[in-house]
Amino acid sequence: MKLNAYAKINLTLDILGSRPDGFHELSSVMVPVTLCDNITLEKSEELVFDCNIKELCSEDNLCVRAAKLFFATAETEVYASIYLEKNVPFPAGLGGGSADAACVLDGLNRLFGEPIEREKLFLLAAELGSDVPFCLLGAPALCEGRGELLTEIKGMPTFDAVIAIGKARLKTPEMFRAYDSAGLPPRSDSKRLLAAAEANDRSALIASLGNAFEPITDVLAPETKLIRAEMLKSGALASHLSGSGPSVYGIFESGEIAKECAEALKKMGYFAVYCQTVGR
């Protein structure tokens, strides 16, 4: 079974406060993008995992953790071999690892005749990570709570996009700690975006995009600010950080402008890729 594990971008990311469990209360509109990892699953006598990037071949990989959780829950007698072809940059704020985990959970469930109900699969996904339930849904959604409480957004417009990333590597827990120390005023981009989507107002929707981590990454990873400026210079309608960074996305009026922007960023030495956001 060959599957695509689609990355995501955060069109908005509002941080509403910290929680007693150590996580943060979020309100984020996330959309899948066509940039994806490729996963091959086959039934096998034992659980085997391999990847085109050797540093990712470990028991800690979310693919292995998702498979172990699936087999512990489904109690099958046969296991599976998993091959991951990693194309999505990591760690980047693009949910690549979460997408892989969701894809393995969903794929194994289908390969073994759906022993686990959909609702239970979402609970398993939430155990694996805050973004895994969204990746399992695979459609634009408002993500609240830790990120696992999903409200699907129907009729979300799709965009030509570019995703780019420089050399900085940021760790999500450290980014949340830096955010807490900065004492920034709260944002409510998600509410504005939902109102704009409801009213079918494309320019208000574009104006509402944003990410609460940007004032932090502007300082800790100034490359992200440079890439955003470069995208806007190349004709992006908007350009923002995805997740806790350091990846940046731009959305564009046309695929042609987006592809030209991706080429220009590549020439500047960045990883850059043209893709599209996915609707439903």
Which residue stretch of 84-92, 124-132, 213-221, 249-257 sits at the interface with ligand C5P (rule: CB under 6 A)?
A: 124-132
Of 115 and 186, which has the nearer Cβ to ligand C5P? 186
Shortest distance in whole angstroms from residue 236 CB to ligand C5P:
27
What's the burial of 50, exposed, middle or buried (CB within 10 Å: 0-12/13-18/19+)?
Answer: middle
130 binds ligand C5P (CB under 6 A): yes
Distances (CA, A) of 156 to 76, 99, 143, 169, 193: 39, 20, 15, 31, 10
Angle at 215 (CA atoms; ends 212, 218), nearest 5 degrees: 130
Active site residue 131: yes
Binding pattern to ligand C5P, positions 24-43, x when CB under 6 A? x-x-----------------
31 closest CA partner among 94, 79, 75, 86:
94
Evaluate whether 251 touches 206 at the Cβ level (below 8 Å). Answer: yes
Of 24 and 86, which has the nearer Cβ to ligand C5P? 24
Which residue stretch of 54-62, 115-123, 126-134, 158-166 sits at the interface with ligand C5P (rule: CB under 6 A)?
A: 126-134
Of 146 and 187, which has the nearer Cβ to ligand C5P? 146
Q: What is the DSSP letter of 28?
A: E
194, amino acid identity? L
d(CA 261, CA 161): 10
Interaction residues for ligand C5P, span 137-176 (CB under 6 A): 146-147, 172-173, 176
Shortest distance in whole angstroms from residue 129 CB to ligand C5P:
4
Q: Which residues are catalytic?
A: 8, 131
